[in-house]
Copies of this chain bind each other. A is one copy, B any other.
Amino acid sequence: MNQLAILGPGLLGGSLAKAIRARVPQCRVTLWVRRAEAVEEARDAGVADFVSQDLAAVVAEADMVVLCMPVEAMPEIAARVAPLISPRAVVTDVGSVKGCVVDALVPIFRKRGRFVGSHPMAGSEQSGLSAARSDLYEGAVCIVTPHTGADPEAVAETCRLWERVGCSISTLSPEEHDRAVGLVSHLPHLLAAALVDFVCAESPESVNFCGNGFRDTTRVAAGPAAMWTGIFAANRAVVVGQLDRMIGRLQAISKDLAAGNDTRIYEFLANAKEARDRLNR
């Protein structure tokens, strides 16, 4: 990898730029930003060798291009990028949803570039270049999602990119990805946001009594609302199905608790504790 073009200077793009500069110093890093104000910010932060609003100047010489913008913006940017890149350039993205991104981007890059979807699971409730860190990806899981017909060499190069910044790699189909990430990321985000919203609606003053438990349980709800609206829309059918089944589970728990069926409540809590304890091993 001689030149990496990163499109979008947010938490994920900015952290990738910093990580590659720290770990692969011989690689030139170019960064595309959409807004004029962001050019100065990114230059001042010194995250890339070249920062510009000019997409062609950023991607023309790149052998790898990473789309780091909200999922709903990807098709438009991808369509602008495709005619500008080397036909052999590997293109990937950091979107939190893969089915619709892969469906939209595969045809765009069919003739120029070799596209493979990926999702480094290193986001947080923070956002923006100011939160970017060169160690953001260390120890994170990155799910690479080769589609039918993906170029095996491009898949390997995509995996290599994320390994270089410290990720461990898993491979799933785009559809498997969306179901798994729906469960461990999208549904938890929705529940955390719904909990904050509900508690404030029931009794705004009760949050004065919150401890670390409430803070932990709701932390992700501080994530950017527009970005998450886009994620839920992009994984709509999966999230609605999972949420509805989760509601069914909560209704069963409510029924057991109301009926004084404390043996069932204990069994449920003991199962949950055992499963949660396994996460720490």
Question: Quick check: is A112 within 8 A (CB to CB) of the other chain?
Answer: no
Interface positions, chain A 149-195, Cβ under 8 Å from B, are: 170, 179-181, 183-185, 187-195
Assess the B197–A210 pair: CB atoms within 8 A.
no
Question: Quick check: is A78 within 8 A (CB to CB) of the other chain?
Answer: no
B-chain residues with CB within 8 Å of residue A198 when the two chains form the complex: 245-246, 249
Determine the distance from Cα of A270 to Cα of B200 in the docked complex, in whole angstroms. 13
Question: Quick check: is A199 within 8 A (CB to CB) of the other chain?
Answer: yes
Question: Quick check: is A39 within 8 A (CB to CB) of the other chain?
Answer: no
Q: Which of B181, B205, B216 contacts A220 (CB 8 A)?
A: B216
B-chain residues with CB within 8 Å of residue A260 when the two chains form the complex: 233, 236
Interface positions, chain A 196-235, Cβ under 8 Å from B, are: 196-203, 205-226, 228-229, 232-233
How many residues on the A side are at the interface (Cβ–Cβ under 8 A)? 90
B-chain residues with CB within 8 Å of residue A208 when the two chains form the complex: 141, 170
Additional pairs, 10, CB under 8 Å, beyond known A233-B265, A236-B257 = A195-B246, A200-B275, A207-B278, A222-B277, A222-B280, A224-B273, A232-B257, A232-B262, A233-B260, A236-B260
Q: Which of B122, B250, B258 contacts A194 (CB 8 A)?
A: B250
Determine the distance from Cα of A41 to Cα of B181 in the docked complex, in whole angstroms. 44
A interface list, Cβ under 8 A from B: 121-125, 140-141, 143, 170, 179-181, 183-185, 187-203, 205-226, 228-229, 232-233, 236, 239-240, 242-247, 249-251, 253-254, 257-258, 260, 262, 265-266, 268-273, 275-280
Determine the distance from Cα of A123 to Cα of B266 in the docked complex, in whole angstroms. 19
16 CB < 8 A contacts A-B: A125-B276, A179-B206, A183-B199, A188-B214, A188-B218, A193-B269, A197-B268, A198-B245, A198-B246, A217-B218, A221-B275, A225-B270, A236-B260, A240-B258, A243-B250, A247-B251
